[in-house]
Amino acid sequence: MDVVLTNLISPGVLFFVLGAFAALVKSDVGLPKQVAQTLALYLMAAIGFKGGAQLSISGVSVEALAALGSGLLLGLTLPLIAFFLLDRFTRVSRVDAASIAAHYGSVSLVTFGAGLALLEEIGQPTEGYMAAVLALMEAPAIAIGVLLARTGRADAKGPRKGVREALTSGSILVLLGATVIGIVLGAQGLKELDGFFVAPFTGVLALFLLDMGLVAFRRIRSLRKAGPSLIAFAIYMPLIGGTLGALLGTIVGLPVGDTTLLATLAASASYIAAPAAMRLALPEADPGLSLPIVLGVTFPFNLIVGIPLYLELSRLLGG
């Protein structure tokens, strides 16, 4: 209960609620697109750099390899689970089911950042390799989503372009590049850039979440198009992913903090890389179905309720 309360009164959640309120009362507050993109770039670089530096300090361990393998396994299996559930329990078309499955198999950088911020706030240690796990999990689900949509069709157009778009997207490149730089610079680089990448992180994340609250709740009316079965999916799919992530992290022996982050990644859904890749590879898929449930349901659910649940589950499973 203390963790839930801590999360609810954290700067990120409170600023997200502020953005949601501003959208609901139709305020003219908002961040220019270029500013929001800059903040997202900063968050990717900061998470990657800090993770790489911590990985350099701690060294590549058996735990790091286990975490990377677990992340890859989740990235390959979660879109298949999501596609099965969508095909069985909702009325969306095959191509829309594949597109939505790609979103839910891929991951959210900001959800990961919120989980990391909560763990830091309560003093729960984590290791730097989780930033690499984040980067590894982003692309496989997008590729699988494209393949699911195109399976058995004679008019397959450009799935390779969609996969390439996923693998070379800006978010993955910046995240991986910053991680490599962090590994190279190590403890000295972390010390030199502490005032830029470490100290301001929570404040920048809070400002970005303010904008996310605005974006999510300005699209809230689109949820009517999704229907109750799809809205329900947007809640139970993160719980399935979070549970699988917590179980897998515990099985391979990850510490509680890293298991929580793995569960958070497995529960999250992409709203940056996946929509861009789907727009290119599956232009016939309807973004009016995927984005509203990702931003309007799953993202706030994870931010407010999910992350504390995944932490408590990881603690319970870890003894």
Contact of 233 with 89, CB cutoff 8 Å: yes
Q: Write out pLDDT tens, residues 211-263.
A: 878 877 776 776 777 789 999 999 999 999 999 999 999 999 999 999 999 99
Instruction: List per-block mean pLDDT (blocks of 10 residues) for the chain, which spans 319 residues.
Output: 65 84 86 83 82 77 90 94 94 89 90 90 86 80 79 51 56 75 89 88 85 77 79 96 97 95 95 70 77 86 93 92
User: Sign of the CA dihedral 287, 293, 296, 298?
Assistant: negative
Domain boundaries, the chain: 2-11+33-317
Q: What is the reported pLDDT for 138?
A: 74
Name the residue among 249, 246, 229 with its Cα closest to residue 311. Answer: 246
Q: What is the reported pLDDT for 143?
A: 78
Beta strands in 133-228 (DSSP E): none
Q: What is the reported pLDDT for 168?
A: 58
Number of helices followed by number of strands (H, E) in the chain: 18, 0
Q: What is the reported pLDDT for 154?
A: 44
Half-sphere exposure in the Cβ direction for 136 (13 Å, CA): 20
For residues 11 and 9, give the distance between their C-alpha atoms in angstroms, rounded to a whole number: 6
Neighbours of 319 (CB within 10 A): 6
Which string of b and e fits 7-44 if b means at least 16 CB within 10 Å? beebbbbebbbbbbebbeeeeeebbeeeebeebbebbb
Cα of first residue to Cα of last residue in the chain, in angstroms, is 18
The amino acid present at 288, given as its one-letter code, is G
CA 36 to each of CA 40, 138, 204, 217, 270: distance values in angstroms, whole numbers, following the listed order: 6, 20, 10, 16, 16
Helices 201-218 and 33-58, packing angle to 10 deg: 130
DSSP assigned state of 268: -
Statement: 2-11+33-317 belongs to CATH 3.40.50.300: no
For residues 257 and 252, give the distance between their C-alpha atoms in angstroms, rounded to a whole number: 14
Contact of 55 with 182, CB cutoff 8 Å: yes
